[in-house]
Amino acid sequence: MNEFEHPPRGRASLEVLRAEAADELETIVHERLLAGEDPWEFMEELPTVDELVVYLLRADSITENGGARPTSARDYRVLRQIALDHPGLTRSVWRLIGELDAHSSDSRRTA
């Protein structure tokens, strides 16, 4: 493991995952404020703490799979497994699944 890698998050408690995500979001907000950005313009585009936890767990799954971009079927299975492993994230998982479905149907229409 090099200095940029982290241990897999999958076995951590939801409270620990949320605390890590909250720290990440706090850092993002701080950096954007230091860069002179207006918080009224960027705060709504940031994910919630739970959405960030789902993104981080999904990223861990992609890393464990050799970094290969998941197919839509695998992505769905990974997200469903996140919801099963962490029931408190279910609402955020299904919101993300809905966004992915909307994105994939938009790309099918433009193809």
In Å, how far are 32, 65, 95 from 48, measured between CA atoms?
A: 16, 26, 12
Q: State pLDDT tens for residues 49-90.
A: 999 999 999 999 999 989 988 898 999 999 999 999 999 999
Q: State pLDDT tens for residues 92-106.
A: 999 999 987 777 776
Q: Which residue has the tokens 């996140």?
A: 82
Instruction: State the average pLDDT over residues 7-15.
Output: 74
The answer to the question of residue 24 being in a domain is: yes
Whole domain around residue 57: which residue ranges? 14-110
Residue type for position 62 = I
Q: Do the beta carbons of residue 79 and residue 54 sit within 8 Å?
A: yes
The predicted structure's pLDDT at residue 12: 84
Kindly give, in sequence order, each residue whose CB lies less than 8 Å from that of residue 28, ignoring residues fewer than 6 positions away: 46
The answer to the question of residue 36 being in a domain is: yes
> Domains in the chain: how many in total?
1
The predicted structure's pLDDT at residue 102: 79
Instruction: State the average pLDDT over residues 30-57.
Output: 96
Q: How confident is the model at residue 30 (pLDDT cuts 50, 70, 90)?
A: very high
CA distance 67 to 18: 24
Radius of gyration of the CA atoms of the chain, in A: 15
- Report which DSSP code applies to 96: H
The predicted structure's pLDDT at residue 42: 94
The answer to the question of residue 5 being in a domain is: no
The yes-or-no verdict on residue 1 having pLDDT over 70 is no
The yes-or-no verdict on residue 40 having pLDDT over 80 is yes
The answer to the question of residue 7 being in a domain is: no
CA distance 47 to 42: 11
